[in-house]
Structure 1
């Protein structure tokens, strides 16, 4: 307004040429237009950010993290994202050396999305908020940890496989918002818990359909439940593309394929603003056991690159991308 007044007075006194006045008025009008556009974008199309104080995907640049984290990969499958590349499909088939072909896969996907929601979840950003997620594994290092209250004080609590809460609330918490499974580790969940399945083969998709319909699939690699309790509207499946992304970009092809636990942590990095990790790794004596059961001596994690996965978790913690709790 002050600049407009000066221009007006100068014009009245004849101290400015008409050309100069036109140029200044044009600049002023452009400035006002840009300001109004900025206000419109600011108040009607807010740029998503979180209010955690520190969020893993924003603020300072981290080359190591940027080489691994790719926001374009959505963890959960939809009908559209189920159309994977030939390379991805062949990698996924090779995980457990299965021979089911593309047609069997497409048939299973079509049937699956007739009974579970076909929508993109958790990828809407979280403007002006802080979504805190706790990923709870099953390591024996949770024993006597007293992490329960901290775990429960989270927006999302993702528990891996069969890890129970009853009788262990002081150390692992009592709440569960998401239960991560594959057929051999399936458990019943209550009506408010999201059931998230990692499929390692076409048969796993067929099993998921079966437990809610025909109850005819009773064996995967080992005998499996033929029925489970869950809210069908809260059932989702992780995309094979996301699994391959974790294997190649995060684990650099270590192991035959990623563990469900490690993939869940990467999934949490994609859907959460702050990620806390509990119950991963060995106990203080170097034993790889579970907090709720005894495991065989020298227990290890199958074909997964466990050592590399653990080193990556520690690196994420070092770079302030996750909070990694190991009790000691």
Structure 2
């Protein structure tokens, strides 16, 4: 015999509905500040809601004072002439030994590499998601791999490997950021995003795809690399100076490749997810692929200041910072 439930009066039904809604809302707000992956909490700060990570959403005074939406991102034939202030700053990074004629060298670039105004397709409904993957040991045991690979762009920095670490760092790479001293071979589908800290770096890039006769800067560098020359992009020195002045506020001599990549991602992505930055849970700074301890700051970079700025960007809901195994 089927059980017959008592029929609720209208005001009882309303009370029940309100109670259910309250429970659902409580559960939502309890968990909205936490992001989990394989049951590991990855952030102790409120997670940004999709689209609110965009630099164009709810901009604060702190962010607005630093973010310049019209800064030149990448070199092309139309913007390769440098403003005097940019030239003086960039020239100041280079020793006389490495000084060459920039105008002559830069003219050789765009018959060889794509001459495009990359990432000028900003649109409120674009929804491009990006993972910036640093090399911190805090990635070990994180199981972030699937989350990283799910993003539209996956940017890896210098020589950070994926083979053997796929569970924690993923396997997909759409953009590889490096300079001559950190160069490596790429597959045919990966964008080579080149960061030139000196004119000799640009000469090396040209040589690596043509004459292959440069194998030394201030140290040994490979004379050539495997990479798709049609996917080469070169960071503009104006962007490097902008990051140094606006974001690191003149700390260090120039920004690190990792920090430059984070700010670059803020300019081309609608949602930025940052992995593999900062110390391990034991407070050590080392790469996930070796145990050699690295200083948080160096003669050239203000690593501690850069890290604090990334955390501030997280708090401002401009990116989402994943802190690894906690």
TM-score range, shorter chain: 0.7 to 0.9
Is the 8 Å Cα contact of residues 212 and 223 (structure 2) preserved in structure 1?
Answer: yes
Is there any run of 5+ residues in structure 1 with no aligned partner, and where? 1-50
Give 1:306's aligned residue.
Answer: 303
The reply to whether residue 215 of structure 1 matches residue 212 of structure 2 is: yes
Give 1:120's aligned residue.
Answer: 117
The reply to whether residue 158 of structure 1 matches residue 158 of structure 2 is: no
Query: Where does 1:14-25 land on structure 2 (aligned, <5 Å)?
Result: none
Find the partner of 2:266 among 261, 266, 269.
269
Measured after TM superposition, the shift of residue 297 of structure 1 is 6.6
Name segments (4+ residues, structure 1) moved above 4 Å: 296-302
Give 2:101's aligned residue.
Answer: 104
Give 1:315's aligned residue.
Answer: 312
Indicate how the Cα distance of structure 1 residues 297 and 53 shifts in structure 2: closer, same or farther if over 3 A, else same: closer
Query: Where does 1:191-230 land on structure 2 (aligned, <5 Å)?
Result: 191-230=188-227
Query: Where does 1:127-166 land on structure 2 (aligned, <5 Å)?
Result: 127-166=124-163
Structure number with the higher helix fraction is 1
| TM-score with structure 1 setting the length | 0.81
Indicate how the Cα distance of structure 1 residues 60 and 112 shifts in structure 2: closer, same or farther if over 3 A, else same: same
Measured after TM superposition, the shift of residue 82 of structure 1 is 1.4
Give 1:75's aligned residue.
Answer: 73
Is the 8 Å Cα contact of residues 52 and 58 (structure 2) preserved in structure 1?
Answer: no
Distance in 1 of aligned mates of 2:59 and 2:163: 42
Give 1:182's aligned residue.
Answer: 179
Measured after TM superposition, the shift of residue 281 of structure 1 is 1.1
Indicate how the Cα distance of structure 1 residues 213 and 156 shifts in structure 2: closer, same or farther if over 3 A, else same: same
Indicate how the Cα distance of structure 1 residues 70 and 298 shifts in structure 2: closer, same or farther if over 3 A, else same: closer
Find the partner of 2:167 among 162, 166, 170.
170
Give 2:283's aligned residue.
Answer: 286
**Larger relative contact order, structure 1 or 2 (CA cutoff 8 Å, min sep 6):** 2
Q: What's the CA shift string for 1:257-297, capped at 9, x where partnerless?
A: 00000000000000000000001111111111000012147
Q: Give secondary structure in 2 for the equivalent of 1:149.
A: helix
Q: Give secondary structure in 1 for the equivalent of 2:273.
A: strand
| TM-score with structure 2 setting the length | 0.81
Give 1:91's aligned residue.
Answer: 89
Q: Considering only aligned residues, what root-mean-square deviation do their CA atoms show, in Å?
A: 1.7
Instruction: Please identify the structure whose Cα radius of gyration is greater.
Output: 1
The aligned length equals 277
The reply to whether residue 295 of structure 1 matches residue 295 of structure 2 is: no
Distance in 1 of aligned mates of 2:168 and 2:274: 13
Is the 8 Å Cα contact of residues 93 and 99 (structure 1) preserved in structure 2?
Answer: no
